[in-house]
Amino acid sequence: MIPILILAAGQSARMKGRDKLLEDVGGMPLLRKQVLTAQETGHPIFVALPSAADERQRAIADLEASIITIPDATEGMSATMRGAVAALPQAPAFMITLGDLISLETSDFLAVINARAAHSDHLIWRGATADGKPGHPILFDASLRASFANLSGDRGGESIVRPLRSETYLVALPDQRARFDLDTPEDWAAWRASNR
């Protein structure tokens, strides 16, 4: 089994007081949708949350997902990844995805997971846009797990991924799903208007 880690410890800093992970998508909070979508893969789900995230926890409390609390989440993405990856169970590989990628579907997670078996000579398997821009989800070989212990700042896993471009297999997902997020209230308003 491949543990799937959903990074959901961000502060929604550009949302003017709103929490984008609690925005309504199809009648439910975005974070709940993300967990349900990942659950459909049949692999175990882990969600990284900041210490004070009661509403986010409530949104997924009844789902089969293990919560990993990140006390130093305000430090940025690296702290979240550092703490969360360390808490994952041992496995031959582990997957990381961002909690706010609103368009990801279960088939996208499975496409990246299946790429590992088909292209086993790589160390990273990564979702990409239809035109080849790297995005999420990202599957890491277990041999890279120790590298996450040294992450710092808010660049996330770029310091791990960038030197391994030649060891990374990109999986083209439909449209912009691998990178499409909504960071501001205006983004959300525009998206809702276009989906009426």
pLDDT digit string (tens) for 64-123? 999 999 888 888 888 899 999 999 999 999 999 999 999 999 999 999 999 999 999 999
C-beta separation of 91 from 63 below 8 A: no
Cβ-in-10-Å burial (0-12, 13-18, 19+) of 67 comes to: middle
pTM across the whole model: 0.94
- pLDDT tens digits, 74-91: 888 888 999 999 999 999
C-beta separation of 135 from 126 below 8 A: yes
Question: What's the CATH architecture for 4-194?
Answer: Alpha-Beta Complex (3.90)
In this prediction, residue 195 has a pLDDT band, given cuts at 50, 70 and 90, of confident
- The pLDDT of residue 178 is 93
* Phi/psi of residue 82, nearest 5 degrees: -60, -50
